[in-house]
Amino acid sequence: MTRTVLHIDSSARTEGSVTRDLSAQIVSRLGAGQVIRRDLATPLPLLDSAWIGANFTPADQRSDTQKQLLSLSDSLVEELKQADTIVIGSPVYNFSVPSTLKAWIDLVARVGMTFQYHETGPVGLLEGKRAIIVMASGGTQAGSDIDFATTYLRHMLGFIGITDVEVVAADAMSVDADGALAKAKTQIEALAA
């Protein structure tokens, strides 16, 4: 049994979403003691110059306004830290992740909190966690040269220290929706709880 799951959905579709359905099946299969839910259908704010300025101000020198600007990001990072497993539902929009998921990544990839720089390069700080990416696409095959969604998510998760990453793919659904869903369900059944 997984202790804590962070369940992230990024589909703009709140009804009839393949990734929402499949990610919910995975969370149920994992039998988590606690589920932290993050639905990105309600978009997160984009980074702006004030946020960047606050982020690069040393924590002990931040004004109350800067602390407030970073408070949502701090909460999102805390959700990641609490989770043993992260389940991310990500449809493929124009060969990549939805903009709402990119906004989440921008808010959690923070130097000193989720990664840090060393002489040899960046080192992720969130080691020992598992991630399961649920990908659905109309025509993009998972892992293909035009799949910038799962490759990007794998890279960013690894960048913050999460290297145990599995992909459940309902890909190329425009070609064979039934076959794509059957394949994804088989992948879900094969997941270890």
Helix (H, G, I), strand (E, B) or coil at 142: coil
Domain range 4-57+66-190, its CATH number among 3.90.1150.10, 2.40.50.1070, 3.20.20.390, 3.40.50.360: 3.40.50.360
How does pLDDT run along the chain (193 residues), one tens digit per residue? Answer: 669 999 999 999 999 999 999 999 999 999 989 999 999 999 899 999 999 999 999 999 999 999 999 999 999 999 999 999 999 999 999 999 999 999 999 999 999 999 999 999 999 999 999 999 999 999 999 999 999 999 999 999 999 999 999 999 999 999 999 999 999 999 999 997 6
Annotated binding site: 11
* Domain range list for the chain: 4-57+66-190
Please list, in sequence order, all residues whose beta carbon lies within 8 angstroms of the beta carbon of residue 171, skipping any fewer than 6 positions away.
Answer: 92, 135, 136, 137, 140, 141, 142, 147, 180
User: Which residues touch 19 (CB under 8 Å, ≥6 apart)?
Assistant: 9, 10, 11, 89, 90, 91, 134, 135, 136, 170
Binding residues for FMN: 11
